[in-house]
Structure 1
Amino acid sequence: MDLDLLSAAVAAEGFMPEDEGRALARAALDAPDGPILEVGSYLGKSTLYLAAAARARGGKVVTVDHHRGSEEHQVGWEYHEPGLVDPAVGLIDTLPGFRRTIAAARAEDVVVAVVARAEEFAALWSAPLAFLFLDGSHTDESAQRDLGSWAPHLAVGGILAIHDVFPDPADGGQAPYRIYRQALDTGEFTEIPGQGSLRLLRRDRFAPEDA
Protein backbone atom coordinates (compact mmCIF):
# COMPACT_ATOMS: atom_id res chain seq x y z
CA MET A 1 0.00 0.00 0.00
CA ASP A 2 0.97 3.66 -0.25
CA LEU A 3 3.22 4.18 2.77
CA ASP A 4 2.97 7.97 2.55
CA LEU A 5 -0.81 7.77 2.80
CA LEU A 6 -0.61 5.37 5.71
CA SER A 7 1.78 7.72 7.52
CA ALA A 8 -0.54 10.66 6.81
CA ALA A 9 -3.46 8.66 8.19
CA VAL A 10 -1.60 7.91 11.41
CA ALA A 11 -0.77 11.61 11.86
CA ALA A 12 -4.23 12.95 10.95
CA GLU A 13 -6.70 14.20 13.55
CA GLY A 14 -9.44 11.74 14.39
CA PHE A 15 -10.54 8.77 16.48
CA MET A 16 -9.20 5.74 14.57
CA PRO A 17 -6.44 3.89 16.48
CA GLU A 18 -3.48 2.99 14.28
CA ASP A 19 -3.88 -0.79 14.63
CA GLU A 20 -7.55 -0.58 13.66
CA GLY A 21 -6.79 1.81 10.80
CA ARG A 22 -4.17 -0.48 9.34
CA ALA A 23 -6.55 -3.44 9.68
CA LEU A 24 -9.21 -1.40 7.87
CA ALA A 25 -6.78 -0.64 5.04
CA ARG A 26 -5.71 -4.29 4.73
CA ALA A 27 -9.32 -5.47 4.60
CA ALA A 28 -10.16 -2.93 1.89
CA LEU A 29 -7.07 -3.94 -0.08
CA ASP A 30 -8.08 -7.62 0.06
CA ALA A 31 -11.75 -7.02 -0.85
CA PRO A 32 -12.98 -8.19 -4.26
CA ASP A 33 -13.01 -5.85 -7.24
CA GLY A 34 -15.44 -2.98 -6.97
CA PRO A 35 -16.05 0.32 -5.19
CA ILE A 36 -14.98 1.14 -1.63
CA LEU A 37 -17.45 3.33 0.26
CA GLU A 38 -17.21 4.98 3.67
CA VAL A 39 -20.18 6.29 5.64
CA GLY A 40 -18.96 8.95 8.09
CA SER A 41 -15.60 10.61 7.42
CA TYR A 42 -15.34 13.40 10.04
CA LEU A 43 -11.95 15.04 9.32
CA GLY A 44 -10.67 12.33 6.99
CA LYS A 45 -8.42 10.12 9.13
CA SER A 46 -10.12 6.81 8.28
CA THR A 47 -10.56 8.03 4.70
CA LEU A 48 -6.78 8.14 4.30
CA TYR A 49 -6.45 4.53 5.45
CA LEU A 50 -9.00 3.55 2.81
CA ALA A 51 -7.29 5.79 0.25
CA ALA A 52 -4.03 3.88 0.77
CA ALA A 53 -5.84 0.68 -0.16
CA ALA A 54 -7.74 2.31 -3.03
CA ARG A 55 -4.57 3.65 -4.61
CA ALA A 56 -2.93 0.23 -4.40
CA ARG A 57 -6.03 -1.29 -6.04
CA GLY A 58 -6.01 1.31 -8.80
CA GLY A 59 -9.42 2.56 -7.69
CA LYS A 60 -11.07 5.18 -5.52
CA VAL A 61 -12.80 5.50 -2.18
CA VAL A 62 -16.16 7.23 -2.05
CA THR A 63 -16.99 8.88 1.25
CA VAL A 64 -20.39 10.24 2.24
CA ASP A 65 -20.92 12.61 5.18
CA HIS A 66 -23.22 15.58 5.76
CA HIS A 67 -20.30 17.21 7.64
CA ARG A 68 -22.57 18.78 10.27
CA GLY A 69 -21.16 16.48 12.94
CA SER A 70 -22.60 13.59 14.88
CA GLU A 71 -24.58 14.01 18.10
CA GLU A 72 -21.41 13.73 20.19
CA HIS A 73 -19.89 16.69 18.31
CA GLN A 74 -22.68 19.12 19.12
CA VAL A 75 -22.58 21.85 21.78
CA GLY A 76 -22.61 20.39 25.29
CA TRP A 77 -21.55 16.89 24.21
CA GLU A 78 -18.32 15.04 24.98
CA TYR A 79 -16.51 15.51 21.68
CA HIS A 80 -17.60 19.04 20.84
CA GLU A 81 -14.88 21.22 19.32
CA PRO A 82 -15.83 24.92 19.20
CA GLY A 83 -13.30 25.48 16.42
CA LEU A 84 -15.40 23.32 14.08
CA VAL A 85 -18.45 25.59 14.35
CA ASP A 86 -19.06 27.77 11.29
CA PRO A 87 -19.86 31.19 12.82
CA ALA A 88 -21.84 32.22 9.76
CA VAL A 89 -24.52 29.60 10.41
CA GLY A 90 -23.77 28.48 13.97
CA LEU A 91 -23.44 24.82 12.97
CA ILE A 92 -20.63 22.26 12.98
CA ASP A 93 -18.83 22.11 9.63
CA THR A 94 -16.16 19.42 9.30
CA LEU A 95 -15.88 19.74 5.51
CA PRO A 96 -13.06 22.35 5.45
CA GLY A 97 -10.98 20.24 7.84
CA PHE A 98 -11.72 17.10 5.83
CA ARG A 99 -10.62 18.78 2.63
CA ARG A 100 -7.40 20.02 4.24
CA THR A 101 -6.61 16.50 5.47
CA ILE A 102 -7.12 14.94 2.05
CA ALA A 103 -5.26 17.70 0.21
CA ALA A 104 -2.29 17.68 2.61
CA ALA A 105 -1.95 13.92 2.07
CA ARG A 106 -2.16 14.38 -1.72
CA ALA A 107 -5.06 11.96 -1.84
CA GLU A 108 -7.53 14.03 -3.84
CA ASP A 109 -6.97 11.78 -6.86
CA VAL A 110 -8.36 8.73 -5.07
CA VAL A 111 -10.99 10.27 -2.73
CA VAL A 112 -14.46 11.12 -4.03
CA ALA A 113 -16.23 13.11 -1.31
CA VAL A 114 -20.02 13.35 -1.33
CA VAL A 115 -21.64 15.88 1.00
CA ALA A 116 -25.05 14.40 1.78
CA ARG A 117 -26.96 12.38 4.32
CA ALA A 118 -25.97 8.76 3.88
CA GLU A 119 -29.48 7.40 3.42
CA GLU A 120 -30.30 10.02 0.77
CA PHE A 121 -27.18 9.19 -1.22
CA ALA A 122 -27.84 5.45 -0.84
CA ALA A 123 -31.16 5.93 -2.65
CA LEU A 124 -29.21 7.24 -5.66
CA TRP A 125 -26.46 4.61 -5.61
CA SER A 126 -26.69 1.59 -7.93
CA ALA A 127 -23.26 -0.09 -8.24
CA PRO A 128 -22.53 -3.21 -6.14
CA LEU A 129 -20.01 -2.39 -3.41
CA ALA A 130 -16.88 -4.42 -2.72
CA PHE A 131 -16.23 -2.80 0.64
CA LEU A 132 -18.55 -0.85 2.95
CA PHE A 133 -17.29 0.93 6.07
CA LEU A 134 -19.92 2.17 8.54
CA ASP A 135 -18.64 4.79 10.96
CA GLY A 136 -21.33 7.45 11.06
CA SER A 137 -23.36 8.80 13.95
CA HIS A 138 -23.59 6.27 16.80
CA THR A 139 -27.20 6.66 17.85
CA ASP A 140 -29.40 3.61 17.33
CA GLU A 141 -31.59 5.45 14.86
CA SER A 142 -28.74 6.60 12.62
CA ALA A 143 -26.76 3.34 12.86
CA GLN A 144 -29.86 1.35 11.88
CA ARG A 145 -30.50 3.76 9.03
CA ASP A 146 -26.93 3.43 7.72
CA LEU A 147 -27.04 -0.37 7.83
CA GLY A 148 -30.50 -0.55 6.30
CA SER A 149 -29.76 1.84 3.46
CA TRP A 150 -26.27 0.65 2.51
CA ALA A 151 -25.96 -3.08 3.32
CA PRO A 152 -28.27 -4.02 0.40
CA HIS A 153 -25.67 -2.48 -1.95
CA LEU A 154 -22.87 -4.78 -0.74
CA ALA A 155 -22.08 -7.52 -3.26
CA VAL A 156 -21.76 -11.19 -2.39
CA GLY A 157 -18.13 -11.63 -1.38
CA GLY A 158 -17.92 -8.00 -0.31
CA ILE A 159 -16.78 -6.87 3.13
CA LEU A 160 -18.85 -4.95 5.69
CA ALA A 161 -16.67 -3.11 8.22
CA ILE A 162 -18.22 -1.57 11.35
CA HIS A 163 -16.24 0.63 13.73
CA ASP A 164 -16.61 1.19 17.49
CA VAL A 165 -18.18 -2.20 18.21
CA PHE A 166 -18.08 -2.65 21.99
CA PRO A 167 -19.90 -5.67 23.44
CA ASP A 168 -19.47 -4.26 26.96
CA PRO A 169 -21.48 -1.03 27.50
CA ALA A 170 -18.76 0.15 29.89
CA ASP A 171 -16.39 0.44 26.92
CA GLY A 172 -18.60 2.52 24.63
CA GLY A 173 -21.95 3.11 22.98
CA GLN A 174 -23.97 0.11 21.90
CA ALA A 175 -25.47 1.19 18.58
CA PRO A 176 -22.57 -0.13 16.43
CA TYR A 177 -22.60 -3.38 18.42
CA ARG A 178 -26.31 -3.78 17.79
CA ILE A 179 -26.03 -3.36 14.02
CA TYR A 180 -23.05 -5.75 14.00
CA ARG A 181 -25.19 -8.36 15.77
CA GLN A 182 -28.12 -7.58 13.48
CA ALA A 183 -26.01 -8.17 10.38
CA LEU A 184 -24.70 -11.46 11.74
CA ASP A 185 -28.17 -12.61 12.76
CA THR A 186 -29.43 -12.33 9.18
CA GLY A 187 -27.29 -15.34 8.27
CA GLU A 188 -26.02 -13.41 5.26
CA PHE A 189 -22.57 -12.70 6.71
CA THR A 190 -19.59 -14.57 8.12
CA GLU A 191 -17.27 -12.79 10.53
CA ILE A 192 -13.61 -12.62 9.57
CA PRO A 193 -10.74 -11.41 11.81
CA GLY A 194 -10.93 -7.73 12.71
CA GLN A 195 -8.94 -5.60 15.13
CA GLY A 196 -9.98 -3.97 18.39
CA SER A 197 -13.37 -2.35 17.95
CA LEU A 198 -13.28 -2.87 14.17
CA ARG A 199 -15.47 -5.79 13.08
CA LEU A 200 -15.29 -7.29 9.59
CA LEU A 201 -18.07 -9.34 8.02
CA ARG A 202 -18.01 -11.03 4.61
CA ARG A 203 -21.27 -11.23 2.71
CA ASP A 204 -21.93 -14.85 1.76
CA ARG A 205 -25.40 -14.48 0.33
CA PHE A 206 -28.56 -12.40 0.25
CA ALA A 207 -31.64 -13.42 2.17
CA PRO A 208 -34.18 -15.00 -0.22
CA GLU A 209 -36.50 -12.00 -0.09
CA ASP A 210 -33.64 -9.69 -1.14
CA ALA A 211 -32.23 -11.90 -3.89
Structure 2
Amino acid sequence: MSDRPALDFEAVWEVASTIPGWLTEEQAKLLFDTARDLSSAPLLLEIGSHQGKSTIVLASAALAQGGQVVAVDPFVDGRLFGGASTRTKFENNLREAALGDAVELLPEYSTRARPTWTRDIDYLYIDGKHDYWTLADDLKWAEHLPDGAPILVHDCYSSIGVTLGVLAHVLPSRTIRYERRCGSMALFRVGRPSWEDRRRILREVPWWLRNVLVKILLRLRLRPVASRLFGHEGPYDPY
Protein backbone atom coordinates (compact mmCIF):
# COMPACT_ATOMS: atom_id res chain seq x y z
CA MET A 1 0.00 0.00 0.00
CA SER A 2 1.40 3.41 -0.96
CA ASP A 3 1.95 6.18 1.60
CA ARG A 4 -0.59 8.41 -0.16
CA PRO A 5 -4.15 7.47 -1.16
CA ALA A 6 -5.02 7.16 -4.82
CA LEU A 7 -6.66 10.26 -6.28
CA ASP A 8 -9.07 8.54 -8.66
CA PHE A 9 -12.33 7.08 -7.41
CA GLU A 10 -11.83 3.63 -8.93
CA ALA A 11 -8.66 3.05 -6.90
CA VAL A 12 -10.28 4.39 -3.74
CA TRP A 13 -13.31 2.14 -4.21
CA GLU A 14 -11.08 -0.87 -4.77
CA VAL A 15 -9.95 -0.42 -1.16
CA ALA A 16 -13.26 0.70 0.37
CA SER A 17 -15.34 -2.01 -1.29
CA THR A 18 -13.54 -4.71 0.68
CA ILE A 19 -14.91 -3.31 3.96
CA PRO A 20 -18.34 -4.44 5.20
CA GLY A 21 -21.03 -1.78 5.17
CA TRP A 22 -24.20 -0.55 3.48
CA LEU A 23 -22.78 1.78 0.86
CA THR A 24 -23.12 1.18 -2.86
CA GLU A 25 -20.46 2.10 -5.39
CA GLU A 26 -22.68 4.82 -6.85
CA GLN A 27 -23.28 6.32 -3.41
CA ALA A 28 -19.57 6.20 -2.62
CA LYS A 29 -18.85 8.09 -5.83
CA LEU A 30 -21.34 10.77 -4.82
CA LEU A 31 -19.53 11.13 -1.50
CA PHE A 32 -16.17 11.25 -3.27
CA ASP A 33 -17.17 13.71 -5.98
CA THR A 34 -18.85 16.18 -3.63
CA ALA A 35 -15.81 16.04 -1.34
CA ARG A 36 -13.40 16.62 -4.22
CA ASP A 37 -15.36 19.74 -5.18
CA LEU A 38 -14.47 21.43 -1.88
CA SER A 39 -11.88 24.16 -1.53
CA SER A 40 -8.38 23.43 -0.22
CA ALA A 41 -7.81 22.05 3.29
CA PRO A 42 -11.45 21.15 3.94
CA LEU A 43 -12.76 19.73 7.19
CA LEU A 44 -15.33 16.98 6.67
CA LEU A 45 -17.53 15.65 9.45
CA GLU A 46 -18.92 12.12 9.27
CA ILE A 47 -21.59 10.92 11.68
CA GLY A 48 -21.56 7.12 11.82
CA SER A 49 -18.41 5.37 10.62
CA HIS A 50 -18.86 1.66 11.47
CA GLN A 51 -15.82 -0.13 10.01
CA GLY A 52 -14.70 2.81 7.88
CA LYS A 53 -16.10 2.10 4.40
CA SER A 54 -17.38 5.63 3.84
CA THR A 55 -14.59 7.11 5.97
CA ILE A 56 -11.97 5.84 3.56
CA VAL A 57 -13.82 7.36 0.60
CA LEU A 58 -14.11 10.74 2.31
CA ALA A 59 -10.61 10.74 3.78
CA SER A 60 -9.06 9.90 0.41
CA ALA A 61 -10.75 12.91 -1.18
CA ALA A 62 -9.97 15.16 1.78
CA LEU A 63 -6.29 14.21 2.03
CA ALA A 64 -5.77 14.91 -1.66
CA GLN A 65 -6.71 18.52 -0.90
CA GLY A 66 -4.82 18.81 2.37
CA GLY A 67 -7.95 18.27 4.45
CA GLN A 68 -9.19 15.95 7.15
CA VAL A 69 -12.24 13.98 8.26
CA VAL A 70 -13.65 14.03 11.77
CA ALA A 71 -15.36 10.66 12.30
CA VAL A 72 -18.03 10.76 15.01
CA ASP A 73 -19.06 7.32 16.25
CA PRO A 74 -19.62 6.03 19.80
CA PHE A 75 -18.99 2.41 18.75
CA VAL A 76 -21.87 1.12 20.83
CA ASP A 77 -21.47 -2.37 22.26
CA GLY A 78 -23.92 -5.05 21.23
CA ARG A 79 -24.62 -7.60 18.49
CA LEU A 80 -25.78 -5.04 15.93
CA PHE A 81 -22.93 -2.50 16.20
CA GLY A 82 -20.03 -4.51 17.55
CA GLY A 83 -18.66 -1.97 20.02
CA ALA A 84 -14.94 -2.15 20.73
CA SER A 85 -14.32 -4.81 18.09
CA THR A 86 -15.83 -2.56 15.42
CA ARG A 87 -13.63 0.33 16.53
CA THR A 88 -10.59 -1.91 16.24
CA LYS A 89 -11.61 -2.90 12.71
CA PHE A 90 -12.22 0.76 11.86
CA GLU A 91 -8.76 1.80 13.04
CA ASN A 92 -7.08 -1.17 11.33
CA ASN A 93 -8.83 -0.41 8.04
CA LEU A 94 -7.69 3.22 8.13
CA ARG A 95 -4.15 2.20 8.96
CA GLU A 96 -4.02 -0.34 6.13
CA ALA A 97 -5.28 2.34 3.73
CA ALA A 98 -2.57 4.75 4.98
CA LEU A 99 -5.27 7.23 6.01
CA GLY A 100 -4.84 7.30 9.76
CA ASP A 101 -3.41 10.82 9.74
CA ALA A 102 -6.32 12.09 7.65
CA VAL A 103 -8.98 11.04 10.18
CA GLU A 104 -9.66 12.41 13.64
CA LEU A 105 -11.82 9.98 15.59
CA LEU A 106 -14.37 11.44 17.99
CA PRO A 107 -15.75 8.38 19.85
CA GLU A 108 -18.94 9.99 21.08
CA TYR A 109 -22.64 10.22 20.31
CA SER A 110 -23.21 12.98 17.75
CA THR A 111 -25.97 14.45 19.90
CA ARG A 112 -23.56 14.80 22.83
CA ALA A 113 -20.67 16.13 20.77
CA ARG A 114 -22.64 18.80 18.92
CA PRO A 115 -23.53 21.23 21.74
CA THR A 116 -19.86 21.90 22.56
CA TRP A 117 -18.54 21.87 18.96
CA THR A 118 -17.03 25.19 17.86
CA ARG A 119 -15.06 24.48 14.67
CA ASP A 120 -16.23 25.38 11.19
CA ILE A 121 -16.77 22.44 8.84
CA ASP A 122 -17.05 22.25 5.07
CA TYR A 123 -18.96 19.01 4.56
CA LEU A 124 -21.48 16.99 6.58
CA TYR A 125 -22.27 13.31 6.08
CA ILE A 126 -25.03 11.86 8.28
CA ASP A 127 -25.30 8.10 8.68
CA GLY A 128 -25.82 7.78 12.42
CA LYS A 129 -28.73 6.50 14.44
CA HIS A 130 -31.78 6.35 12.19
CA ASP A 131 -34.48 7.59 14.52
CA TYR A 132 -36.38 10.85 14.08
CA TRP A 133 -34.91 12.63 17.11
CA THR A 134 -31.27 11.85 16.33
CA LEU A 135 -31.63 12.87 12.69
CA ALA A 136 -33.30 16.11 13.75
CA ASP A 137 -30.37 16.86 16.05
CA ASP A 138 -27.73 15.81 13.51
CA LEU A 139 -29.13 18.33 11.02
CA LYS A 140 -28.19 21.06 13.50
CA TRP A 141 -24.52 20.45 12.68
CA ALA A 142 -25.31 22.38 9.49
CA GLU A 143 -24.97 25.65 11.44
CA HIS A 144 -21.19 25.15 11.17
CA LEU A 145 -21.29 24.91 7.36
CA PRO A 146 -20.83 27.73 4.82
CA ASP A 147 -23.40 28.57 2.18
CA GLY A 148 -23.47 25.98 -0.60
CA ALA A 149 -21.80 23.27 1.48
CA PRO A 150 -23.01 19.68 0.94
CA ILE A 151 -25.06 17.73 3.46
CA LEU A 152 -25.38 14.05 2.57
CA VAL A 153 -27.81 11.77 4.38
CA HIS A 154 -27.72 8.00 4.02
CA ASP A 155 -30.90 5.92 4.28
CA CYS A 156 -32.94 8.98 3.42
CA TYR A 157 -36.32 8.07 1.89
CA SER A 158 -35.65 4.55 3.15
CA SER A 159 -35.61 4.79 6.94
CA ILE A 160 -38.88 5.88 8.54
CA GLY A 161 -37.18 7.97 11.23
CA VAL A 162 -34.77 9.67 8.84
CA THR A 163 -37.45 10.49 6.28
CA LEU A 164 -39.86 11.85 8.90
CA GLY A 165 -37.02 14.02 10.17
CA VAL A 166 -36.38 15.36 6.68
CA LEU A 167 -40.08 16.07 6.12
CA ALA A 168 -40.37 17.85 9.45
CA HIS A 169 -37.12 19.82 9.44
CA VAL A 170 -35.84 20.14 5.87
CA LEU A 171 -39.07 20.52 3.92
CA PRO A 172 -40.01 23.76 5.75
CA SER A 173 -36.39 24.88 6.22
CA ARG A 174 -35.18 28.23 4.93
CA THR A 175 -31.53 27.25 5.08
CA ILE A 176 -31.29 23.73 3.56
CA ARG A 177 -32.28 22.79 0.03
CA TYR A 178 -32.64 19.35 -1.55
CA GLU A 179 -30.64 18.61 -4.69
CA ARG A 180 -30.90 14.91 -5.61
CA ARG A 181 -30.40 11.35 -4.42
CA CYS A 182 -28.51 8.20 -5.36
CA GLY A 183 -30.48 5.27 -4.05
CA SER A 184 -31.14 6.22 -0.44
CA MET A 185 -28.22 8.67 -0.35
CA ALA A 186 -29.69 12.18 -0.47
CA LEU A 187 -27.68 15.30 -1.28
CA PHE A 188 -28.75 18.57 0.34
CA ARG A 189 -26.93 21.88 0.38
CA VAL A 190 -26.85 24.86 2.67
CA GLY A 191 -28.87 27.58 1.00
CA ARG A 192 -32.31 29.07 0.67
CA PRO A 193 -34.58 26.52 -1.05
CA SER A 194 -36.93 27.29 -3.90
CA TRP A 195 -40.44 25.91 -4.12
CA GLU A 196 -39.13 23.45 -6.70
CA ASP A 197 -36.54 22.23 -4.17
CA ARG A 198 -39.39 21.55 -1.74
CA ARG A 199 -41.47 19.81 -4.38
CA ARG A 200 -38.54 17.51 -5.15
CA ILE A 201 -38.63 16.32 -1.54
CA LEU A 202 -42.34 15.59 -1.77
CA ARG A 203 -41.87 13.71 -5.02
CA GLU A 204 -39.64 11.23 -3.14
CA VAL A 205 -42.48 10.23 -0.77
CA PRO A 206 -43.88 7.46 -3.04
CA TRP A 207 -40.42 5.91 -3.31
CA TRP A 208 -40.10 6.08 0.49
CA LEU A 209 -43.49 4.38 0.96
CA ARG A 210 -42.41 1.69 -1.48
CA ASN A 211 -39.31 1.06 0.64
CA VAL A 212 -41.36 0.88 3.83
CA LEU A 213 -43.59 -1.78 2.26
CA VAL A 214 -40.53 -3.72 1.13
CA LYS A 215 -39.20 -3.68 4.69
CA ILE A 216 -42.51 -4.95 6.03
CA LEU A 217 -42.53 -7.81 3.54
CA LEU A 218 -38.96 -8.73 4.44
CA ARG A 219 -39.86 -8.79 8.14
CA LEU A 220 -42.75 -11.11 7.31
CA ARG A 221 -40.32 -13.38 5.40
CA LEU A 222 -42.10 -12.61 2.12
CA ARG A 223 -39.05 -11.78 0.05
CA PRO A 224 -40.52 -13.35 -3.15
CA VAL A 225 -43.50 -11.01 -2.82
CA ALA A 226 -41.18 -8.01 -2.42
CA SER A 227 -39.35 -9.10 -5.54
CA ARG A 228 -42.50 -9.66 -7.58
CA LEU A 229 -44.33 -6.49 -6.53
CA PHE A 230 -41.46 -4.03 -6.16
CA GLY A 231 -38.48 -5.57 -7.94
CA HIS A 232 -36.49 -5.75 -4.71
CA GLU A 233 -33.75 -8.35 -4.79
CA GLY A 234 -31.73 -9.69 -1.88
CA PRO A 235 -32.37 -10.14 1.84
CA TYR A 236 -31.39 -6.63 2.92
CA ASP A 237 -33.50 -3.50 3.37
CA PRO A 238 -33.39 -0.96 0.53
CA TYR A 239 -30.36 1.30 0.86
- TM-score with structure 2 setting the length: 0.70
Q: Check 1:188–1:10 CA distance in 2 against 1; reply closer, same or farther (3 A cut).
A: same
In structure 2, what is the equivalent of residue 177 of structure 1? Answer: 163
Choose which of 174, 178, 181 in structure 2 pairs with 1:191: 178
Choose which of 72, 75, 82 in structure 2 pairs with 1:67: 75
* Cα offset, 1:32, TM superposition: 4.3
In structure 2, what is the equivalent of residue 24 of structure 1? Answer: 31
* Cα offset, 1:193, TM superposition: 3.3
* Cα offset, 1:23, TM superposition: 0.8
- Which deviations, in whole Å up to 9, do the C-alpha atoms of 1:55-93 show, x marking residues without a partner? 222111111110116xxxx45xxxx37xx366xxxxxx5
In structure 1, what is the equivalent of residue 53 of structure 2? Answer: 45
- Which deviations, in whole Å up to 9, do the C-alpha atoms of 1:120-155 show, x marking residues without a partner? 22223212221000100112222222223x122222
Secondary structure of the corresponding residue to residue 129 of structure 1: coil
Contact 1:164 1:197 in 2 (8 A): yes
Decide which structure has greater helix share.
2
In structure 2, what is the equivalent of residue 10 of structure 1? Answer: 17
Secondary structure of the corresponding residue to residue 123 of structure 1: helix
Partner Cα separation in structure 1 for residue 32 and residue 166 of structure 2: 19
Q: Check 1:85–1:153 CA distance in 2 against 1; reply closer, same or farther (3 A cut).
A: closer
Q: Check 1:57–1:192 CA distance in 2 against 1; reply closer, same or farther (3 A cut).
A: farther
* Cα offset, 1:173, TM superposition: 2.1
- TM-score with structure 1 setting the length: 0.78
Partner Cα separation in structure 1 for residue 163 and residue 92 of structure 2: 31
Partner Cα separation in structure 1 for residue 159 and residue 23 of structure 2: 15
Percent identity among equivalent residues? Answer: 28
In structure 1, what is the equivalent of residue 105 of structure 2? Answer: 113
* Cα offset, 1:204, TM superposition: 1.4
Number of aligned positions between the proteins: 184
Contact 2:178 2:189 in 1 (8 A): yes
Partner Cα separation in structure 2 for residue 25 and residue 178 of structure 1: 27
Partner Cα separation in structure 1 for residue 155 and residue 39 of structure 2: 24
Contact 2:21 2:51 in 1 (8 A): yes
Contact 1:6 1:52 in 2 (8 A): no
Partner Cα separation in structure 2 for residue 32 and residue 190 of structure 1: 20
In structure 1, what is the equivalent of residue 149 of structure 2? Answer: 158
Give 5+ residue unaligned stretches, structure 2.
Answer: 1-6, 194-239
Give 5+ residue unaligned stretches, structure 1.
Answer: 87-92, 167-171, 207-211
Q: Check 1:85–1:193 CA distance in 2 against 1; reply closer, same or farther (3 A cut).
A: closer
User: Aligned-pair RMSD on alpha carbons?
Assistant: 2.2
Secondary structure of the corresponding residue to residue 161 of structure 1: strand
Choose which of 141, 145, 155 in structure 1 pairs with 2:133: 141
